[in-house]
């Protein structure tokens, strides 16, 4: 199998790497063909051009020895591919959901053609599966979320990821923190302090007190940081899946979140674990989270560990070995 990996975000790169490992663990030879955007990346100013640049780069990356099956890691990676034999498409969210309006017109039209000719669709979640505009068979394959060793100490009050400040609602988080975070520490990862403050200033939001800007750090350091947090806060304006939220739950942080639109896989878990921590009024949800005592947080972690059972590597490996490979014509 050839896995054409677009990998434009840390989450996509992690998901592709995890799937490649599980395919190999199931006995399949899997070659990962990484997409290189190059100088054309500077042209990515709106969704229509961004997807065109990335789709063309993915077309170049897919060249190579013919594989028995080609797996495209996103809808964008598949949009402009020529016919190269049987293929499958994996995605967190189809263009039918995350490319509304005029700027997504060509992607939605092309998506119907591309997905309609696939051998199999591999959405990350049931909501994404239900939104795919085709009758092609589909198999939900979540991104595996390993269990994480308990942190030695929970010395971070609240943690947030704001790699894309507009999408991640950094302004919403900072406004809420300014109201309820007095005397506590909010750690923000994924963005450096200076560009974060410049973006906040354009939104008319001042830097609140008690914010520790961590910027971009290696994945191992980020997971160690997550393991030290009591709460993980999310204010995404759109959420295609919520991998960072699922990893936070796995690391023992309670999830405080707005009900972000999109195929937000972690949202239903958050609501079932503690509905008071899910609110469009982030100030209210964050305040409720900060009032949780240690016993309440310990009980929350135990419930979260049970809820994450379908996302554990062994559970996902069973889907890959017992369902995915036979669906693509590979014998066991």
Question: In a 3-state reduction of DSSP, which class is residue 287?
Answer: helix
CB contact set of 6 (below 8 Å; sequence gap of 6+) = 12, 16, 35, 54, 58, 73, 74, 76, 77
pLDDT at 180: 97
Q: Work out the pLDDT band at 332, boundaries 50, 70, 90.
A: low
- Give mean pLDDT, residues 73-98: 94
pLDDT at 306: 97
**Per mean pLDDT, which range of 33-47, 72-86, 206-220 is the poorest?**
33-47
Q: What is the CATH number of domain 2-144+312-327?
A: 3.40.50
- Give mean pLDDT, residues 99-121: 96
- Give mean pLDDT, residues 31-40: 87
Q: What would the 3-class secondary structure string for 108-164 be?
A: HHHHHHHHHCCCEEEECCHHHHHHCCCCCCECCCCCCCCCCCCCCCCCEEEEEECCC
pLDDT at 59: 95
pLDDT at 150: 76
pLDDT at 40: 66
- Give mean pLDDT, residues 315-327: 97
Q: What is the CATH number of domain 156-311?
A: 3.40.50.2000
Q: Using one digit for the tens of pLDDT, what is the confidence trace for 132-190?
A: 999 999 999 999 999 988 777 899 999 999 999 999 999 999 999 999 999 999 999 99
Nearest CA to 313 among 92, 21, 30? 21
Contact 33, 64 (CB under 8 A): yes
Domain boundaries, the chain: 2-144+312-327, 156-311
The reply to whether 2-144+312-327 and 156-311 are identical in fold is yes
Q: Which helix (H) or strand (E) holds 253?
A: none
Q: Work out the pLDDT band at 314, boundaries 50, 70, 90.
A: very high
In the predicted model, is pLDDT for residue 331 greater than 90? no
Q: Using one digit for the tens of pLDDT, what is the confidence trace for 199-246?
A: 999 999 999 999 999 999 999 999 999 999 999 999 999 999 999 999
């Amino acid at each position: 199998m050839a896995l054409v990996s677009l990998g434009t975000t840390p989450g996509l790169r992690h998901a592709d790497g995890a799937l490649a490992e599980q395919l190999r663990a199931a006995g399949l030879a899997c070659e990962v063909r990484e997409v290189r955007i190059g100088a054309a990346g500077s042209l990515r100013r709106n969704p229509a051009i961004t997807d065109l640049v990335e789709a063309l780069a993915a077309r170049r990356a897919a060249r190579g020895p013919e594989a028995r099956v080609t797996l495209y890691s996103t809808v964008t990676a598949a949009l402009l591919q020529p016919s190269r034999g049987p293929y499958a498409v994996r995605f967190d969210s189809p263009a039918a959901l995350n490319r509304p309006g005029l700027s997504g017109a060509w992607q939605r039209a092309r998506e119907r053609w591309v997905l309609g000719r696939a051998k199999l669709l591999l959405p990350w979640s049931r909501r994404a599966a239900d939104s795919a505009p085709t009758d092609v068979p589909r198999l939900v394959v979540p991104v595996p979320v390993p269990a994480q060793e308990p942190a030695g100490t929970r010395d971070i009050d609240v943690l947030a990821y704001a790699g894309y400040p507009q999408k991640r609602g950094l302004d919403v988080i900072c406004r809420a923190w300014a109201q309820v975070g007095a005397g506590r520490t909010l750690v923000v990862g994924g963005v450096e302090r200076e560009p974060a403050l410049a973006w906040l200033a354009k939104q008319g939001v001042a830097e609140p007190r008690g914010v520790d800007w961590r910027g971009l750090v290696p994945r191992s350091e980020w997971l160690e940081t997550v393991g030290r947090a009591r709460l993980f806060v999310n204010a995404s304006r759109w959420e295609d899946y919520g991998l960072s939220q699922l990893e936070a739950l796995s690391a023992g942080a309670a999830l405080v979140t707005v009900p972000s639109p999109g195929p937000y896989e972690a949202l239903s878990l958050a609501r079932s674990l503690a509905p008071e921590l899910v609110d469009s009024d982030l100030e209210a949800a964050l305040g409720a989270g900060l009032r949780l005592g240690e016993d309440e947080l310990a009980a929350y972690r135990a419930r979260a560990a049970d809820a994450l059972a379908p996302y554990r590597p062994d559970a996902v490996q069973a889907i890959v070995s017992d369902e995915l490979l036979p669906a693509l014509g590979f014998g066991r």
